[in-house]
Amino acid sequence: MKKMKAIAIFLASAFGCVLPAFGQLNASHNHFRAGDVLIKQQVEFVVPGKAGTDRLWNFSKLKTINDEYMLEYALPPLEGDSVYIMGDRRYKKDDVKDNELIVGKEHNTMYYYHQTADSLLQMGHENPSVILDYTSPLSILPFPLDYGQSISSGYQSKGLYSGTVDIATRGTVTVTADAYGKMLLPSGDTLDLVLRLKTLQTIFDVPKEGDNMVEAENAGKQLEIYRWYSKGYRYPVFETIRDLNLADSSVIFSTAFFFPPQDHLYLENDSANLALLDQLWDMDKKTIDEPNAQHSKTANLKDIMTCKLRPLLKRWVRSLWIFTPAFPISLFQFIR
């Protein structure tokens, strides 16, 4: 039944239903979890657009550059059976809570995270070319966070490039929930209840003895990341990344990623977000049962279940029916 509710809420969002404004991001619904796997698509870069309320982001025409990137979250490897290893750091297993330490694995890079009750901290990252450790952790997501809220903090890092070249940087990171609204997805569907997070990270080389201080300041960069979160999904549904040269605002690098909602398969065992989907389901049902109630207009569930689904969603629904005998036969027959 919970799976059916999750399907209905996804369908409701996919066809443009109007639901209440986005609430806060919080640890219960948005902490990373070991074992979660996401599939994302690299798409052409798009300008994120203005901040504010009731925004509409039309990303429906974006072309796909790479069909599939796998992003996996896991526990850190164990040294023996009692010590977690994260880069150069060691943590006693008995001192670590569930999902407190997480490793994100993506595109030959491992990202190290430490999660607390009120923050998601990045501790560093590692790949065949670079090993980087944040000596003062990088706060990338404070909890809770709602529209209009912002938090800034400083950080420092050290590391090695190609095993021989020292890296030492410092800077600030500012995270702001700067916009909410709805999004037209590259798949062609519509997603409501979307909150956008804007992250600005300045990166300056730490001057070495004898360096010109002014030149060192002008050598700085700014990493600009926008992430779009939708109600009931633990991870973002869309992300843009742009690296800028602070000296002249020239673009060093830019890209974007789409996380198709139907590929957020971790929802099968995500009780916190399933409970949230339950609430949205109940709200939708109440609106149908009480047509004269003062609520935002919501699509009728019967209409949702009998509308024309897009090919990508058809394949997803078929796969659910194959593995879920309780899935409505009528819906399956309709999309055949």
Quick one: tokens of 333? Answer: 């027959």
Check residue 256 and give its pLDDT. Answer: 97
Helices first, then strands: H and E counts in the chain: 7, 16
- pTM, two decimals, is 0.78
For the chain, give every domain's residue range: 2-272, 301-336
In which band, very low, low, confident or very high, does the pLDDT at 263 lie, cut at 50, 70 and 90? Answer: confident
Dist. CA 117–CA 96, nearest whole Å: 13
Mean pLDDT of all residues in 1-18: 43
Mean pLDDT of all residues in 255-267: 91
Check residue 278 and give its pLDDT. Answer: 77
Mean pLDDT of all residues in 2-17: 43
Mean pLDDT (the chain) is 80
Compute the radius of gyration of the chain from its Cα atoms: 22
Dist. CA 169–CA 175, nearest whole Å: 19
Name the more confident of 330 and 109. Answer: 109
Check residue 211 and give its pLDDT. Answer: 65
Check residue 229 and give its pLDDT. Answer: 96
Amino acid identity at 15: F
Name the more confident of 139 and 306. Answer: 139
Please name the helix (run of DSSP H) or strand (run of DSSP E) that holds residue 12, with its range, or none. helix 2-14
Q: Is pLDDT above 50 for 192?
A: yes
**Reduced to 3 states, what is the DSSP secondary structure of residue 133?**
strand
Dist. CA 128–CA 131, nearest whole Å: 8
Mean pLDDT of all residues in 78-92: 92
Q: Is pLDDT above 60 for 220?
A: yes
- 162 dihedral zone (left: phi>0; alpha: psi -120 to 50; beta): left
In which band, very low, low, confident or very high, does the pLDDT at 285 lie, cut at 50, 70 and 90? Answer: low
